[in-house]
Each structure stands twice: as C-alpha cells, then as structure tokens.
Chain A
C-alpha cells in the first residue's frame, strides 16, 4: 500500500496505462502542462506531446475526434476540464459515442474514456460546480463511474481505459487533495462492483463520490444514538451493482439515497423505483432521498453551503426513516 492523493492516484493510473498500451492517448485543454489541477502533470514529458495532446477550447469536436480515433483502435482519454462543459460535447458523446457500437451492429467499438470533474466547492458558481451524472445514466451505451477515494480513482480509471465502451469518469474536485491507501501493482477495480463502506443493521445509506465521506460522518453520529447505519458506495453508477444494494436493503429494510446533484430526476429517483419494485414488502419505511435543492449552483459561499447536502441532512433523513419503528436490537 502507498499513500496517494486522489490526483496522484489518477495520474498514476494514466501513466501506467500509457506505458502498458501505446494506443492510449490523453487529449484535453492544457493537459500537456498538467491542466488546472495538475492531474496530467509530467505525462507530456514522459510520453511526448503527440500522446498528451493539448487541444483548443472545442469540447464538442475534441470528444468527437476521440470517438473517431476510438473506433479505429486507439484508446483516447479525454479530459473535459469541468463536467459543466460536457454540455458542449453532448451530440458527439450521446448521439455518436454511446450509440455507434449498437448502430453499427457491433462493427465499431468505442474505446473511450472521458474524464470530468465536478461538484460544488469553493464558490465557483453555476458553470463550474454541477453534478450531472443522472443525464448520462439515461443514455444506453455509456458507462458512468464516480470514485470516492484514491484507490478507486486509480483502479476504476484503469478499468475504464481498458473497457471497450465509452466510460464517463466523474471525479470530484472536493476529493482531489484527499489522501488514501492505494494498493501496489496493477490495481484495477472492476466496473459494476459496489463497495461496502460500513456495515450496519438498521438503515442502508447509499452514497457515492464525495458524499461517501459525508455519509460515513453521519453514520458515526447516528451510532451514538444507537442507530446502526450501513453505507454502500456503488462506485459505478452504470452498470449498477444492484445485487449488493438489494441484499443490503433486504437486511436493513430501510434505504436513504444521497447525492450532491439536485434531487429531481437524480439517480436517487431511479434507484428508489428499482429498489421498491424488487423489495417493497421488505421495506419498513419509504425510501428517502437527500440531494440538492432544485436550483442552479449559487456562487455565494453562504448559499453554496445551503445547496450542498451535508451531514445534518443525512442524519435527519436516517432518523426519519427510523421514525416509524424502533432500532433493531
């Protein structure tokens, strides 16, 4: 095990995959100089600027170019600096990248990874703070992952690059400088496997990306009240490890889903629907969701604090879920 920040873990994943496979290319704005957060720092020196390619500010065409290169055998990794800017590449990603394998009857494989980062932090306002994962879960053909710690960031990135499908790799800016243990060697985390972050009996809390740490803090506090919380991190949002979630809910009979994105139309809505279809008669309380209010991300620090779901909201939701019955002894 080695201690790494989330940024270092991603960089290590990129570097290892570029070493392993000469068809891996990194493209994006400023990537040859490391990008705004230094994620790709040093890669251009290591692999040359023909493989770590600075692009103009043309997200749509750069993503399309990567799709074109991907179907002809390359494994491009595109960095879209902020998830907010992926709106500019929606046609290329959704209409072309996601569908070409299907539309071609399997003739084409889109071996593409798109790295984005998002999340509200530091009062950066409505164009540099969003959590947009739900849009992409609605697109057949795309895979979506959102790592919550350095080990998963590295392992899932390596899996994404090796995958023959387009994978949207969602990083959280609020995790960039957090540290954690990363296993040595060729550490690959399979896409589609959830992780149990804390075992518990009474309520399952499902959280991903930065919300995992917030959920764990909430679970700690709730433990002092005698409420035992199980925290599950799906890691991969599509495909989803439904089995692990279902097993947990069958055990606890209560589910709270947490995400930083706005509540309406979020992944929580879809998951709640799927879970109740599967385990309705096991539930002791309605499935509850915690998410952001239905508003753009505000710029003011005072407002941003009200926007991003915090520990208190999770604690409140869990208590509410417990309200109909007592904690199991």
Chain B
C-alpha cells in the first residue's frame, strides 16, 4: 500500500486524540458520577480502532465488544450522541437503552457491541453473509479481545467464515489480560493468530500500537475480502493503560509493566513519526490535541444538558 502522506498521518493522529480525549473525559465523568455503570476504556489501544477503520468505507460494517467507544468513534459515530448514550440520556444513539456496552450507530455502520465476551463474532459473520450475497464488495469487521479467543463462538465462527469464504476481518486486540488474568493463565496458545492458522485463515500478528503496521495488515485483509477471497485474522498486540473497568485498581499488573507500555503509547509514536519524518511543528501537534479536547468538551456538555428518557420508555421498543 502507499505510505500515507502528511495530511493523512495528521488525520490519523487527530482521530486517535479524539478517542483518547473522549475516554479521558468519560473517566472524569465516571468519577463525578455523571456516567454510571460498567465502563471499559480503550486508552492505549487507539491505534487499532483508527488504523482499521481508516481503511473502511462508510457502507462497511463493524462490530465491537465491551471496550468499544473507540471503534464507534473511529467508524464515524457522532461524539455528542455517543456521550449522551453513555450518560443514559434520551438523545443518545439508543435513547439510553444500550449504554456503554451496547452501542449501536447504524448511520455509520457500527452495527453493535456486546456485553458478552465473543458475543458479536457470530453476528459479524451474519453481516459478512449479507455482504457476500449482495455482492457489492462490502466487508464486515469484528473487534474482540484475547479473552474471546477461548470462547466457543470464536472457534465456531472462524470455522464457518473460512468454510464459506465470508468477507469478514477478525481483529483480535490482544491486550494481554482477560479481565484480571493474564492470557498465559487461560491458554497455552500465546499467539491467538495460530487459531486462524488451524482454520486455514490468512493471519498476521502485528504491533497494535504502531498504527502504520496495523494499517498495512488491514489493507491486505480488506483487499482480500472485497475480492471474494474470504476472511483474514489480524492479531494486534496492545495494552490497555487503564483497568479492566473504571474503578478497577488493577493490582494484578506490575507498575513496571505499565511504565513499559506507556513508552509504547500509540499516540506518542505517531507524533514522533510526524516530528522526525515530516517536520511537523510542535504547535500543529498541540493543536491536534486541543481540537480533540474541544470537540469532546462539547459532546460532554451536550450529553449533560440532554433530558433523561421518560418513564414510558422503559418498556417501549421491546418489539418492532
């Protein structure tokens, strides 16, 4: 694939800053009880969401997991309606009925997330089934973590996707921990991409904090899917810099490990590339961050000034 030019790189950086700022704002709002519930932040994993979605079209479909605010933003969801959904307000994408783990933003192709680990992998196959039958070259992408790699749905789905040559891309964000437990305590298969090998699916393991490496692998996977060559599996090695959920003290991780991964922060890495190889000024880089923070501030204000859902909404839309 072509090396992205300076404008494209800056756009990737901006998107990552928007996700980072959004997640930091959510964390702040959780602390103030302006957002309640189970909230899982993707701080540190922005390069996967942005890297993948930057190569998709508006009519491609993506599916998330429980840590998917970033995926929705990367696919083009509106920040205000997203934040309002997290805050349980009526102006949220789902009118407050979904929340952080059940985001749906169909207008941009974010079909759904899930509170069940591995739960959206079969759903993504369904989307890919539709894409294949319609024959318009659309693809479906599903994001999940290393914890999903031990779920039955994961293995069944890899098998069927391979068998039926479905245009689906499996993006495994291997952040090393399934909730509070390191991957090594759940499986002896340390490279989850090996499972794809078992099911004859082209696969690769990449540095998930290196956005250009993520894009390189996605580019090839998207090409294959659009050409009718079937599924691909991309394992992105990454790390969440926050706990499993907001409020998780994270005592199961060594501080040294956290410090080590902070050094590999995906935003800092792309920033270094822009500085060294494109001589982007500090001012321009700062601006990418401050613009993102402004957008997120406005989203937060929109959410908090939005009305709560009316009592009658509690059992509306149970049936279509």
Contact = CB atoms under 8 A, between A and B. Distances in A.
B68 to A, nearest CB: 13
Contact of B317 (A60, A63, A68, A105): A105
Interface residues of B, number: 43
A107 interface: yes
Contact of A65 (B93, B97, B129): B129
B163 interface: yes
A58 B320 contact: no
Interface stretch (B9-17, B152-160, B179-187, B287-295): B152-160
A199 interface: no
Given A64-B153, A104-B98, A106-B320, A72 B116 contact: no
A66 B320 CA distance: 17
A282 to B, nearest CB: 28
Given A72-B111, A102-B317, A105-B317, A96 B119 contact: yes
A65 B160 CA distance: 10
A76 B123 CA distance: 13
B318 A140 contact: yes
A60 B153 contact: yes
Contact of A107 (B106, B160, B163): B106
Interface in A137-179: 140-141, 143, 164-165
Interface string A52-82: 0001101011111111111111101000000
A95 B157 CA distance: 17
A58 B140 CA distance: 20
B93 A165 contact: no
A12 to B, nearest CB: 24
Given A91-B153, A102-B318, A103-B102, A68 B94 contact: no
Given A72-B111, A103-B102, A106-B317, A55 B122 contact: no
B156 A165 contact: no
A108 interface: yes
Given A101-B319, A106-B320, A64 B106 contact: no
Interface residues of A, number: 41
Contacts of A71: 111-112, 123, 126
Contact of A72 (B93, B127, B156): B127
A70 B130 CA distance: 9
Contacts of B120: 96
A102 B97 contact: yes
A91 B98 CA distance: 17
B228 to A, nearest CB: 13
A109 interface: yes
Of A58, A103, A140, chain B has the most CB atoms within 10 Å of the CB of A103
A26 to B, nearest CB: 13
Contacts of B97: 102-105
B133 interface: yes
B111 A141 contact: no
A264 to B, nearest CB: 26
B61 interface: yes
Interface in B240-292: none
A109 B317 CA distance: 10
Contacts of A91: 116, 119, 153
A108 B107 CA distance: 11
A58 B104 contact: no
A48 B111 CA distance: 29
Interface in B65-122: 92-98, 102, 104-106, 111-112, 114-116, 119-122
A273 B63 CA distance: 41
A41 B51 CA distance: 47
A105 B127 contact: no
Contacts of B159: 56, 58
Given A56-B159, A68-B125, A69-B130, A109 B119 contact: no
Contacts of A96: 112, 114, 116, 119-120, 123
A101 B105 CA distance: 13
Given A164-B320, A165-B320, A104 B126 contact: no
A105 B93 contact: yes
B124 interface: yes
A152 B92 CA distance: 42
Interface in B124-161: 124-127, 129-130, 133, 140, 152-153, 156-157, 159-160
Interface of A: 50, 55-56, 58, 60-74, 76, 91-92, 95-96, 99-110, 140-141, 143, 164-165
27 contacts: A56-B160, A58-B156, A58-B160, A61-B122, A61-B157, A64-B123, A64-B157, A65-B123, A65-B160, A67-B123, A68-B122, A72-B126, A74-B130, A92-B153, A95-B114, A95-B119, A96-B116, A102-B97, A102-B317, A103-B112, A104-B97, A104-B106, A104-B112, A107-B106, A108-B106, A108-B112, A140-B315
Task: Across the A-B interface, give the 10 residue pairs with the lowest CB-CB distance, nearest first.
Answer: A68-B126, A64-B122, A105-B94, A68-B123, A61-B156, A104-B104, A105-B95, A58-B156, A69-B126, A164-B320
Given A64-B119, A91-B153, 19 more contacts: A50-B133, A56-B159, A56-B163, A64-B122, A64-B153, A68-B127, A68-B140, A69-B126, A70-B126, A73-B130, A91-B116, A96-B119, A96-B120, A101-B320, A102-B317, A103-B112, A107-B94, A107-B105, A107-B106
